Amino acid sequence: MKTEFSLAQLADPDIAEADKILRACVHCGFCTATCPTYVLLGDELDSPRGRIYLIKEMLEKDKPPTPEVVKHIDRCLSCLACMTTCPSGVNYMHLVDQARVRIERDFSRPLAERALRAILALVLPRPGLFRASMIMARLGRPLAGLLPTPKAAATPGLLRRIKAMLALAPKRLPAPGPSGGSTFPAVGERRGRVALLQGCAQQVLAPRINQAAINLLTRHGVEVVLVKDEQCCGALTHHLGQDGDALARARANITVWIKEAEQGGLDAILITASGCGTVIKDYGFMLREDREYAKSAAQISALAKDITEYLGGIALNPSSQKGDLTVAYHSACSLQHGQKITGIPKELLSKNGFVVKDVPESHLCCGSAGTYNILQPDIAGRLRDRKIANIAAVKPDMIAAGNIGCMVQIAGGTSIPVVHTIELLDWATGGPKPGLTGPGLN
């Protein structure tokens, strides 16, 4: 694609990067077929190619984005299916990330929308506040039925979004898990030492996921540390275009993880929420122009691994499973498109005695996508219904996924139990049977 940036514009490293990405696009349109919003809405401007044109124009003109541009960028899930499909290697992720920052900086959203985004950015990355808000939302849940049902609209209103938020609130909250600063020694001879990302929403909604990871790792000779003063990885605010907050969190985490690696040694930083993993693996790019942090950010990105990537490299205990449970494996977008991890989780599950079924249309997002199911509840709801129908077609006993956002989204529309892949692997290799009706997941 031909671009028309001036030399002055190209002196900005972000614009130079955007120029490189835009020039790689040959506008073949292959990406449209796998884009969930294009599949649902059939509008070229809701396809990757259409959005690429909109972003190109916004950046070239260097003017505040129009409401039309904002509408179509806001509808993008950042699922990155387009990157998997693109034959030219267009890095849509870095382009849309830049567009979201521009929109946040230069576009004045309506007051109610600004307030909602500010609340999400304040609450979601802080487990204490998130827990309190979940308790309040649970109390407010009965009121959701009393609220009028607004009509589906191109841009959903505040009422529709509040209803979506209340619907996502769990019926019960589990007790908090272990806190930062805890170390879990290896059982027997120590073969490795890792940090485990504590996560934000996950540690409130389902601390059992990291507990299963700790059980499994320590049982297999790996010491696990929950690093003190670790923060939210920044993914939530990054996807809202609030890069000042996201980068501050990235720097804070890099500081404490590098310190831990220097003091105790770390073979890896393991992540059980793939949405977080995709962003941490991108710290090196996000901070490439930061003289103080660029090198350590790249080191941290190299250490970051999804839990299944790490487990693929160690010998697990013999499985207790007898092959009589069928698991539908939901491939989270952030794992399959963001991190290109597709085979390992399924191989681990089948090697450990589960009958694993692929879900039809597995490349399509379930509609969770961070805060998308709150900000775009109508599209998110349609994607969830489609995902659940596809899952039901393989008649599973349970659904396994590697991302808490997907787990909550899918569990909200089905009675089939939803568990994290690590819970099944822990169970198969000597851990407890997962509670199949966890908070928010039943």
Contact flag: residue 30 with ligand SF4 (CB under 6 A): yes
Residues 60-79 touching ligand SF4, rule: CB under 6 A, are 76-79
CB atoms within 10 A of CB 214: 21
The CB-of-48 to ligand SF4 minimum distance in angstroms stands at: 4
CA dihedral 234, 240, 245, 250 (to 10 degrees): 20
Q: Which is nearer to ligand SF4, 73 or 359 (CB)?
A: 73
Contact flag: residue 86 with ligand SF4 (CB under 6 A): yes
The CB-of-382 to ligand SF4 minimum distance in angstroms stands at: 13
Provide the CA 337 distance to its chain's centre, in angstroms: 11
**Which of 81, 254, 344, 380 is the binder for ligand SF4 (CB under 6 A)?**
81
Q: Which is nearer to ligand SF4, 25 or 425 (CB)?
A: 25
Q: Which residue in the block uniquely carries the two structure tokens 């693929």? A: 312
DSSP state of 155: S
Helices (H), 146-293: 158-168, 201-205, 208-219, 235-238, 243-264, 274-280, 283-286
Helices (H), 376-420: 377-392, 404-411
Contact flag: residue 31 with ligand SF4 (CB under 6 A): yes
Give the total of residues touching ligand SF4 (CB under 6 A). 26
Provide the CA 321 distance to its chain's centre, in angstroms: 29
Residue 47 CA to residue 414 CA, distance in Å, equals: 29
- Length of the chain as a residue count: 442
The CB-of-224 to ligand SF4 minimum distance in angstroms stands at: 33
Contact flag: residue 28 with ligand SF4 (CB under 6 A): yes
Contact flag: residue 36 with ligand SF4 (CB under 6 A): yes
Q: Which is nearer to ligand SF4, 82 or 201 (CB)?
A: 82
* C-alpha distances in Å from residue 235, one per residue of 123, 225, 241: 13, 22, 10
Task: Show the tokens assigned to 185.
Answer: 């020694």
Contact window for ligand SF4 (CB under 6 A) among 82-90, 183-191, 273-281, 425-433: 82-90
Contact flag: residue 166 with ligand SF4 (CB under 6 A): no
Q: Which is nearer to ligand SF4, 88 or 320 (CB)?
A: 88
Contact flag: residue 37 with ligand SF4 (CB under 6 A): yes
Q: Which is nearer to ligand SF4, 82 or 250 (CB)?
A: 82
Dihedral sign for Cα 53, 59, 62, 64, please: positive
Q: Which is nearer to ligand SF4, 51 or 220 (CB)?
A: 51
Contact 235, 278 (CB under 8 A): yes
Binding site for ligand SF4 (CB under 6 A): 25-31, 35-37, 48-49, 51-52, 76-82, 85-86, 88, 90, 92
